[in-house]
Structure 1
Amino acid sequence: MEHINIRKATKTDIPQLLELMDQYIVDFYHCPRPKGQSVENLVQHLLENPYEGIQFVAETESNHLVGFATLYFTFNTLEAKRMAILYDLFVSPETRGGKIGERLMQTCISYIREHDYSHMIWETAHDNYPAQALYDKLGAKKAVWLNYEIS
């Protein structure tokens, strides 16, 4: 496997990043493709407003993107600090098993620690055992809080 570089997404990444996000949304999660240019608008918004969130990409030596992670930022009242929500972590199926997901996670962890965030939270499916094994390996703990949602 080629050497993989993990870095912040840039404007020039948008076409490839949109392809990866389409795989993530439609192929992996089987959700309908968001309408119009909403995904591109989201990526553009994050690039222009890094205080709200950031995306990291995994890039091969041949400048091909093979994964991404998205952090959104909010506040933690209990510690009076900012906190991060890891909302997306995706590695293209053909490159899985090469520790790219682990490296993306490590980059996110380093980022929140370097910027003095209180913590990072994320969710995974109850039956996503490979992801849970990665999180356990990284020293993450299952949260004591229950997740609720409403539409």
Structure 2
Amino acid sequence: MIRPATPTDVPVIRALIHDLATYEKVPHEARATEAQLTAALFGDRPAAHAHMAVDDTTGEPVGFALWFLNFSTWRGVHGIYLEDLYVRPEARGAGHGKALLAELARICVERGYQRLEWAVLNWNTPSIAFYEALGARPQDEWTVYRLTDAALTALGTQGPRE
């Protein structure tokens, strides 16, 4: 079962984010607090959205998808950027990951969004095979760039001021 996250899910979402970071071999990078997640997902102006995969038998959350809207200047419409998708190892193979992606695809179709995008680590071959089996294709002609920490601060403090 897939359902929108609620504020009571925030501790579970935080735990799943930490589990994902551990799986991706960077647990020290998962620094989001429950207060930050609550504000981002359920504040006055939510910046992101989340859906929960729930075990049909126990009712316990076993995975999540955290996403936000992006915008295509070329197509002139929004899309969804999937920031994180994670299903606990013991719940994998039961269709939760596919159901989460299908729900996001349904939202895209219903709202007229024309893209559902995400990134996957190059070494994560099980996820790559899963995504490609669903019809997703890598965008090999693009390279992702990121500014964080000291580099972001350095650039942000030397930029033009009005």
Provide the secondary structure at the position in 2 that maps to 1:121: strand
Greater RCO (CA < 8 Å, at least 6 residues apart)? 1
**Within the alignment, does 1:47 sit opposite 2:46 as a pair?**
no
Flag as ranges the 4+ runs of structure 1 deviating above 6 A. none
| Match runs of 1:76-91 below 5 Å | 76-91=72-87
TM-score, length basis structure 2: 0.78
Question: What stretches of structure 1 of length at least 5 have no aligned partner?
Answer: none
Q: 1:7 aligns with which of 3, 12, 16?
A: 3
Q: Could you tell me how far apart the structure 2 residues matched to 1:145 and 1:21 are?
A: 26
**Within the alignment, does 1:74 sit opposite 2:85 as a pair?**
no
Question: What stretches of structure 2 of length at least 5 have no aligned partner?
Answer: 149-162
Asked if structure 2 preserves the Cα contact closer than 8 Å seen for 1:18 and 1:40, the reply is: no
Q: Could you tell me how far apart the structure 2 residues matched to 1:54 and 1:33 are?
A: 21
Q: Could you tell me how far apart the structure 1 residues matched to 2:68 and 2:41 are?
A: 9
Which of the pair has more CA radius of gyration? 2
Q: Could you tell me how far 1:41 is from its partner in structure 2?
A: 1.7
Task: Report the counterpart of residue 148 of structure 1 in structure 2.
Answer: 145
Q: 1:130 to 1:73 in 2, by over 3 A?
A: same
Q: Could you tell me how far apart the structure 1 residues matched to 2:35 and 2:46 are?
A: 18
Q: 1:50 to 1:86 in 2, by over 3 A?
A: farther
Task: Report the counterpart of residue 58 of structure 1 in structure 2.
Answer: 53
Q: Could you tell me how far apart the structure 1 residues matched to 2:49 and 2:27 are?
A: 23
Asked if structure 2 preserves the Cα contact closer than 8 Å seen for 1:17 and 1:65, the reply is: no
Asked if structure 1 preserves the Cα contact closer than 8 Å seen for 2:79 and 2:115, the reply is: yes
Task: Report the counterpart of residue 157 of structure 2 in structure 1.
Answer: none
Identity of aligned residues (%): 27
Q: Could you tell me how far apart the structure 2 residues matched to 1:139 and 1:70 are?
A: 21
Q: Could you tell me how far 1:50 is from its partner in structure 2?
A: 7.1
